[in-house]
Amino acid sequence: MLWIIFSGLYRGAVFPILLLMEQEQIQLFTIIRDQSRTLVTGRDEKALLKAVPGLANNMLWIFGHLVRTTDFLILKLSGHAMNFPADLDPYFAKGSSPADWKSSDGLKDRLLAAEEQCQKKVLAFLETADASAFAEPYKTSSGFVLSSVKESLRYNVVHEGIHLGQLQLFNKLVG
C-alpha cells in the first residue's frame, strides 16, 4: 500500500516537473529567437550582407541558418515536412555560404516572411508533440545524437544561443 501511494506521488511530481522543463525550453527558444530577429530587423539589407574580415558568413546567413536548422531539427527529424521555403534552402543549408549566392536582392524580406511562418508552425507543433523517439536518430556535426523532439529542442536552444552571440558580434563589427 505504501509503495502505491509513494509511486503515485512520485509520478504526479515528475510529470509536472518534466512538462515545466519542456515549457522552459520552448520559452528560452522563443526569447533567443526574438533577440536574433530584433538584430536582423534593426539592420538594413546592406549591413546584413556585409562580410567581416576573418569571419565566415554574414548576419543574414546566420539568421537564415537558424530558421532552416530549427525547421530541420524539430519538424523534419520528427517525420514532418519542413516549412522552410525550398527556394531559400540553397542559401542557408548546412555547408552553404554567402560567397556562393548569385543574388541577394530582397532576401531579407523573403527570409523574415519565411521565419514568421516557420516559427508559427514549429511552436504549434511543439504544443502537441509527443515524447516518442525519432524513426532514425540524427548525429549533429558536433557529435550529439538526437533521438526525440525533446532532445532536438534542447540542442536547438543551444544552437540558437551560439548563433545569437555571433549575430551580436557581427552587429558590433559591421558598424
pLDDT in tens, 43-77: 999 999 999 999 999 999 999 999 999 999 999 99
Adjacent-strand bridge partners of 139:
145
pLDDT in tens, 13-35: 444 444 556 889 999 999 999 99
Residue boundaries of the structural domains of the chain: 22-173
Query: What pLDDT was estimated at residue 20?
Result: 58
pTM: 0.87
Contact, 63 vs 114, CB < 8 A? no
CATH H-level superfamily of 22-173: dinb family like domain (1.20.120.450)
What whole-number distance in Å separates Cα of residue 77 and Cα of residue 82?
9
Pull the grid cell for residue 117: 511562418
